[in-house]
Amino acid sequence: MVQSNAMTVADWFDRLAIASRPIFEQFHRACLQELGGWEERMQWGMPGYGPPGNDNVVSFNSQKRHIAFYPGPTAIERFRDQLAGLDCGKGCVRYRNAGQIDFTIVQEMLRDIRQRGGTMC
C-alpha cells in the first residue's frame, strides 16, 4: 500500500499527480455528500471518513497500479453482484483504471455504510 505522510486531506490532494486528481475529487465529493457530519481525516496514510470520534470506516487511495476504495468487508459482500468483474479484496475494491469506477454504485455503498451507522462488520 502506498501511504502518504500528508497531514490533511487537502495536503494529500496537493501531492497527488494532476492527472489523477479528477477521479479522486469524485470520491471526495461522493464521501462528503453521502457521509455528511462524519469526520474527514488522514488515517493509515490515506484520506478517509468516519463517524465523529471513531476511526475511518471509508478510505480511498492512489496505489502504484490501481485506484483503491476501502468501503469495508460488509459493503463488499453486500454489493458483490454490482462489483462483479472487479478486483475485490476483503474490504477494498481495486480499480485498474478510472473507467471501471461506477460512482452510482460507490454512492449506494456509501449510503449503505451510513445507514448501518458506519459499522465495519
Each residue of 10-42: pLDDT tens digit? 999 999 888 889 999 999 999 999 999 999 999
Question: What is the residue type of 25?
Answer: E
Q: CA-CA distance, 103 to 105, in Å (whole number)?
A: 5
What global pTM score does this model have?
Answer: 0.91
Q: What SS3 state is found at 111?
A: helix
Instruction: Please determine, looking at this structure, whether the domain spanning 9-115 carries the CATH number 3.30.420.40.
Output: no
Cα–Cα separations (whole angstroms), residue 15 to 11, 31, 96, 115? 6, 20, 21, 32
Is the pLDDT at 51 greater than 80? The verdict is yes
Q: Where are the beta strands (DSSP E) in the chain?
A: 39-43, 46-50, 58-62, 67-70, 87-88, 93-95
In the chain, where the domains are located = 9-115
